[in-house]
Structure 1
Amino acid sequence: MKQPDPDLLELPVTSLDGTVTDMQLVKTPQRLELHQASGGGVLYIDFVSGKSAHRRQFGGGRGQPLARAAGLKKGLNPTVLDATAGLGRDAFVLATLGCKVQLVERSPIIAALLQDGLDRALEDAAVRQIAARMELFSADAIIFMRGLKEAYRPEVVYLDPMYPHRKKSALVKKEMRVFRSLVGDDPDAAELLRTARECAIARVVVKRPAKADFLGEAEPTMSIKSPNTRYDVYIKRGLQTVD
């Protein structure tokens, strides 16, 4: 599938001084950025430094909740489809731990930012091997999963749908406000889960706020909890050991 190219998004091109819209996709000498004029926020993808570097070095390895939910153990590196790629942070963690990860993002703007982040990661000696295990697709995840042939179905499908907007919006960081302003909520999240359970070979993992209801009122096989986050796991079969 064709990867997102910022030059092919058919967006109007103007100078920063001539801003006439609230959001602009900006090419800087360092990276591709999304600027929101009203809130002063800037969004970009960085797999080399910042939060990604911290999680890569100090995230807890295969003992962290995300890895346990995905079924990672010694000798187990399942193939993963991240159907709500977003900023790509959880996909990067799974790739860091040895999984091959397909990222599916339906917002072409976010997909362009992701591709830019992956391209820069592939040029960095510290993370290029990790980035090489990540493949991005700009597509609607429901359509994408339904179109996969049997041989290409992932062992694990990972979902992190947008949770309804919090009342205390001031507590939400600027980059997440920009992200939410662009992509909105996920009204088809329940259908996404149903499709994921049909697509995944072994299990589906759904990331939720710790006190949130089950997605689509579908009770999971088990849940793995951390202070602020819960991973609901829907198991279809055991994962296969890889030598």
Structure 2
Amino acid sequence: MLPGKVPLLESCLSSLPAELINALSLLNLPICSEAPVSGYFLSCENNGLVLNTEKGEKIQPVLSKPAGFTGKQPLLRALAPARGGIVIDATAGLAGDSLKLALIANRVIAIERNPVVFALLVSALSLARSSALSGIEKIEAKYGDAIELIKQLPATDVIFMDPMFPPKRKRSALPPKSVRVLREIVGDDRDDEKLLRVARQHALRRVVVKRPLHSPPLANDHVALHEGKVVRYEVYLPTGKSL
């Protein structure tokens, strides 16, 4: 089964929360009556979705309060203008960064274009709402391509991007399981430069791009770099705006 055609177990349609069922109806995922012999598939446990991999691994994204998230964090310094405003997370993934954004912004629009990842994203948000996780009520998930959706949304203070990291050229330890599986499903983002151009045309104050330390900047005209231990945050001004 190709990652882009991951089926959903039919039994989930009668056991998941209505919020999640409504989101799944947008995705046109294949439905299977029983677990496939091989390949990826989605099942459900504890009112949420579980991604089952070809290797028999089970992944159920669960959001939790970010640990040690203080004003000294490079992400917070990069996102300073977002305090109290509206932020678009243009590459939401499983909403780990969206939750951090929600701790400082009034509203976060989390966009994800891969149907399987979006299903897992909505599942994680649903589980977090049921546990009253702080900040989760500020996150609104939208399914679609951010390059097109950003053009349809009102201009926002800050647009955040976390495109799939380019792999290291030298051999290194395997990334965490969830990141590795996401790469298998999504692949590399080959239109990240186009997304950056669109984001800069619609952000009011800045665009922040998350990148690994080992990779070159996404563009050469960033106005600030905020580095952490393994990633950095590149700050770009909107098109036509200067310091």
Shift of 1:219: 2.4
Q: Deviations over 1:59-99 (max 9, x none)?
A: 232331111101158xx322110000011101101112344
| TM-score normalized by the length of structure 2 | 0.82
In structure 1, the partner of 2:12 is none
Find 1:165's aligned residue among 160, 164, 167. 167
- After TM superposition, list the pairs within 5 Å mapping 1:15-54 onto structure 2: 15-16=34-35, 19-38=36-55, 40-47=56-63, 52-53=64-65
Q: Which moved more, 1:130-139 or 1:22-31?
A: 22-31
> Once superposed, which parts of structure 1, at least 4 consecutive aligned residues long, lie more than 6 Å away?
none
Unaligned 5+ residue runs, structure 2? 1-18
Partner residue of 2:187?
184
Kept after mapping to 2: 8 A contact 1:156/1:203 = yes
| Range with bigger deviation, 81-90 or 114-123 | 114-123
TM-score scaled to structure 1, two decimals? 0.82
1:5 matched to which residue of 2?
A: 23
The equivalences for 1:185-224 within 5 A come to: 185-215=188-218, 217-224=219-226
1:41–1:175 Cα contact (<8 Å) kept = no
d(CA) in 2 for partners of 1:122, 1:185 = 30
- Count of residue correspondences: 219
* Letter paired with 1:192: L
Superposed, 1:87-126 pairs within 5 Å as: 87-125=94-132
- Kindly indicate whether the alpha-carbon contact (under 8 Å) linking 2:168 and 2:214 is maintained by their aligned counterparts in 1: no
Paired position in structure 2 for 1:61: 70
SS at match of 1:135: strand
CA distance in 2, matches of 1:34, 1:170: 23
- The two structures, once aligned, show a CA RMSD in angstroms of 2.3
Contact 1:42-1:178 within 8 A present in 2 as well: no
Query: Which of 210, 230, 233 is the matching residue for 1:231?
Result: 233
- The one-character-per-residue Cα deviations of 1:79-133 (angstroms, maximum 9, x if unpaired) are 11000001110110111234411000001111111111111211113x1x51110
Q: Which residue is equivalent to 1:70?
A: 79
Q: Percent identity?
A: 33
Query: Of Structure 1 and Structure 2, which has the larger fraction of its residues in helix?
Result: 1
Q: Is this contact kept in 2: 1:23–1:34, CA < 8 A?
A: yes
One-letter identity of the residue aligned with 2:54: A
Q: Determine the C-alpha separation between the residues in 1 that align with 2:49 and 2:172.
A: 26
The answer to whether the Cα contact below 8 Å between 1:42 and 1:175 also exists between their aligned partners in 2 is no
Instruction: Note the residue ranges of structure 1 that are not aligned, 5 or more in a row.
Output: 239-243
Q: Distance in 2 between matches of 1:118 and 1:197?
A: 28
Distance in 2 between the 1:32 and 1:10 partners? 13
